[in-house]
Amino acid sequence: MNWIALLIAGIFEIGWPLGLKLSQQPGGNKWSWVLFSVGCMAVSGGFLWYAQKSIPIGTAYAVWTGIGAVGTLLVGIIFFQDSASMLRLLSAFLIVAGIVGLKLF
């Protein structure tokens, strides 16, 4: 259950930079997206807190930030036309490999 909580925390970790990005879009409701970001931060932190009850802090934090970093990278590529160069994708793969290594070893 704690790994599921950590996965949920990581997904909400993607939500707050997304909300901040959307708050900068012209014609959007800036403060609604800022509040969305704050809500995602709170939910993400709450699930991380719960997950750390049985997952080592270093592993939990690395997984949490890794999901947030790689997930936000993918959101940027898919929805905001961020660069999808081979080196950026390789770097993201290395983050994922490091996370898997922390879980396995």
Confidence check: pLDDT of 105 > 90: no
The predicted model gives 59-69 an average pLDDT of 96
Nearest CA-CA partner of 88 in 76, 98, 79: 76
The band of 103, judged by pLDDT with boundaries at 50, 70 and 90, is: confident
Residue extents of the structural domains in the chain = 2-104
The band of 27, judged by pLDDT with boundaries at 50, 70 and 90, is: confident
The band of 52, judged by pLDDT with boundaries at 50, 70 and 90, is: very high
Three-class SS state of 105: coil
The confidence score (pLDDT) of residue 62 equals: 95
Residue 72, Cβ neighbours under 10 Å: how many? Answer: 18
Residues 6+ apart with CB under 8 A from 6: 47, 48, 51, 55, 60, 63, 64
Q: How many angstroms from the chain centroid is the CA of residue 78?
A: 15
- The model's pTM: 0.91
